[in-house]
């Protein structure tokens, strides 16, 4: 079985691509408001169903629900209103869709400040829906980028101690991390640059990263993706066995 992905707040599909590669899944639905981003998504995922409004969208029962709800009220650069803010408060729509779809796996991405401005509510809401959660923070430089840019990732699956649930086989199936097609990387990089206002860093597609106007700026990009994928799977195994998750 190939698990299906319902992607919320999809942007240009960075998280979708990662989830596909780690779990061998296919993106089934993408929910994104901005027209330019939807055009990018349509180019790379022509078979995926698109929706422009997360508030009117209803969950369709995919095996994976993933997304990064708006961070403006959570970020240190925002008003710090947390989930009480208008934009970051869209987490409630995310939780509603999880309730409607009842997926085997929920993946949430947001800024690291969510730890102090809403993570407790996110985990509590997921627990109320019958999901056990685990979370960690990953910095961009873990993938070879010259940026800290920490992001919080939350993984949640049904709490086997509270509801009957048998982990699907795809959740633990070994996944070979094949290198993506170079033409796709080139296209995806162009889309990323076009959709980002501040482009301080440029990616060199020959496997290095290059910084503008700085000497000795090229560094080999470490191949950490398989290790991160293995760590994700190990954590999910603990959760599926009913282990206590902190």
Asked if the structure places residue 43 within a domain, the reply is yes
At 93 the pLDDT is: 98
For residue 28, the SS3 value is strand
| Number of compact structural domains in the chain | 1
Alpha carbon 6 to its chain centroid, in Å, reads 11
Cα(86)–Cα(89) distance, integer angstroms: 5
Task: Report the predicted TM-score, pTM, of the whole model to 2 decimal places.
Answer: 0.75
For residue 220, the SS3 value is strand
Question: For the chain, what is the mean pLDDT?
Answer: 78
Asked if the structure places residue 245 within a domain, the reply is no
Asked if the structure places residue 169 within a domain, the reply is yes
At 227 the pLDDT is: 56
CATH number at residue 99: 3.40.50.150
Instruction: State the DSSP H helix or E strand holding residue 95, giving kind and residue range, or none if neither.
Output: helix 91-101
Asked if the structure places residue 140 within a domain, the reply is yes
All residue ranges of the chain with pLDDT < 50 are 176-185, 195-225, 242-246
At 54 the pLDDT is: 97
DSSP state of 147: -
At 197 the pLDDT is: 37
- DSSP assignment of 165-217: ----GGGTS----PPPPHHHHHHHHHHHHHT-S---EEEETTTEEEETT-TT-
Name the residue among 15, 9, 44, 46 with its Cα closest to residue 186. 44
Cα(6)–Cα(115) distance, integer angstroms: 24
Asked if the structure places residue 246 within a domain, the reply is no
Range of the domain at 213: 4-240
Asked if the structure places residue 142 within a domain, the reply is yes
Q: What is the pLDDT of residues 5-56, one digit of tens each?
A: 999 999 999 999 989 988 889 999 999 999 999 999 999 999 999 999 999 9
Q: How many CB atoms neighbour CB 213 within 10 A? A: 6
- DSSP assignment of 101-137: H--SEEEEEEEGGGGTTTHHHHHHHHHHTTEEEEEEE
Tokens of 238: 């603990």
Task: Let me know: does 130 contact 110? Beta carbons within 8 Å.
Answer: no
Asked if the structure places residue 236 within a domain, the reply is yes
Asked if the structure places residue 141 within a domain, the reply is yes
Inter-axis angle of helices 182-194 and 35-44, nearest 10? 180
């Amino acid at each position: 079985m190939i698990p299906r992905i319902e992607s919320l707040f999809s942007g240009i599909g960075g998280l979708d691509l990662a989830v596909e590669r780690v779990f061998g899944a296919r993106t089934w639905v993408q929910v994104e408001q901005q027209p330019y981003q939807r055009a990018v998504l349509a180019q790379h995922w022509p078979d995926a169903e698109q929706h422009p409004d997360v508030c009117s969208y209803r969950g369709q029962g995919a095996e994976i629900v993933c997304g990064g709800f708006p961070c403006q009220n959570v970020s240190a650069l925002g008003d710090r209103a947390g989930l009480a803010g208008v934009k970051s408060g869209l987490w409630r729509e995310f939780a509603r869709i999880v309730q409607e779809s009842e997926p085997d796996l929920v993946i949430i991405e947001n800024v690291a400040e969510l730890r102090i401005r809403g993570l407790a509510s996110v985990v509590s809401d997921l627990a109320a829906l019958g999901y056990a959660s685990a979370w960690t923070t990953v910095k961009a430089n873990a993938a070879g980028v010259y940026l800290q840019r920490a992001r919080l990732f939350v993984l949640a699956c049904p709490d086997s101690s509270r509801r009957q649930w048998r982990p699907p086989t795809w959740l633990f199936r070994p996944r070979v991390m094949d290198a993506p097609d170079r033409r796709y990387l080139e296209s995806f990089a162009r889309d990323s640059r076009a959709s980002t206002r501040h482009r301080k860093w440029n990616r060199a597609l020959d496997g290095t990263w290059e910084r503008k106007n700085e000497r000795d700026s090229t560094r080999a990009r470490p191949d950490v993706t398989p290790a991160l994928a293995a760590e994700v799977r190990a954590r999910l195994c603990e959760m599926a066995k009913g282990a206590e998750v902190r």
